A = this chain, B = another copy of it.
């Protein structure tokens, strides 16, 4: 640092205080087994007495571990992402790791420079949350044998360890639920077109319609970009359609909120006039009125699982890479109901 900090307490000070060599101190600190219990005791008490804190820089330079893992997220301020980070953070904290957070703001360049920096010494592992350009570095990560895990990205390759929800299945369930409530005209608010999860959800929606012999109506599919405002606009468009939908399946909760706004603005009620179903189950979805019926992605849990996977790869580089699919159950609240009997025009 700059303004010369008050002399640090180092391992040597501890050694002196405890009357042992500094290598012994290091061994105690790292929980080596072959060390005299008496000295071990003396070292620990010296440590607390002097308030020693290990210098991570030095430790990692000398070949130890940084106990830092990097997390790459597209943006912040999205509750979906917030939840995942929360899970990551929890799992990491309990494993005594620190979290280096990077935001790409969907800029490709930032993603790759970041990964470069990380893999060169700073972090021991890497978590990628719905990366925009995964191919760009997945390969380099892989060949450098740098531990990483991808969260919520439909496999862009076969070798990347991944934790992901069952997007297709969940979309099938959700659509089926609406159909069995009696809906035939079901609007669909599509997520970001280039994300695999959005595509899978749409696939589930479309194929379920077909399975029930309900004709697919292209005019009932609109873009919501996974955001509230676009979801609102999309829904306004949906409500203009000649034979408007009696239910709307939004690709995520945020766009479902937008849909709610549009429906209400129109003077219609939820679920009386129109049912709305979301995806994610972000915390708000439970506290909004009416409670949003939605597909639950265990976001925080996904973050935790990703951390566990990552740590196991770090500890044991031979550990076989996995792809874990978490369950995504339908959470039934108050925003869906059978369609109202058709009104006169």
Please tell me if the beta carbons of A77 and B66 are within 8 angstroms of each other in the complex.
Answer: no
A102 to B93, CA, bound (A): 9
Whether A326 is near chain B, meaning CB under 8 Å from some CB there, is no
Binding site for B on A (CB under 8 A): 1-3, 5-6, 8, 53-58, 60-61, 63, 65-66, 68, 75-79, 82-83, 85-86, 89, 93, 98-103, 110, 116-117, 120-122, 124, 144-146, 228-229, 232, 257-258, 260-262, 264-265, 283-284, 286-289, 314-315, 317
Please tell me if the beta carbons of B65 and A120 are within 8 angstroms of each other in the complex.
Answer: no
A5 to B61, CA, bound (A): 13
Q: Which residues of B contact A63 (CB under 8 A)?
A: 1
Shortest Cβ distance from residue A148 to the other chain B in the assembled complex, whole angstroms: 13
Please tell me if the beta carbons of A232 and B289 are within 8 angstroms of each other in the complex.
Answer: yes
Please tell me if the beta carbons of A99 and B98 are within 8 angstroms of each other in the complex.
Answer: no
Shortest Cβ distance from residue A119 to the other chain B in the assembled complex, whole angstroms: 8
**Which one, B76, B86, B287, B317, contacts A85 given CB within 8 A?**
B76
Q: Which residues of B contact A146 (CB under 8 A)?
A: 5
Residue of chain B at shortest CB distance from A54 = B120
**Which one, B57, B86, B286, contacts A75 given CB within 8 A?**
B86
Shortest Cβ distance from residue A41 to the other chain B in the assembled complex, whole angstroms: 23
Please tell me if the beta carbons of A77 and B79 are within 8 angstroms of each other in the complex.
Answer: yes
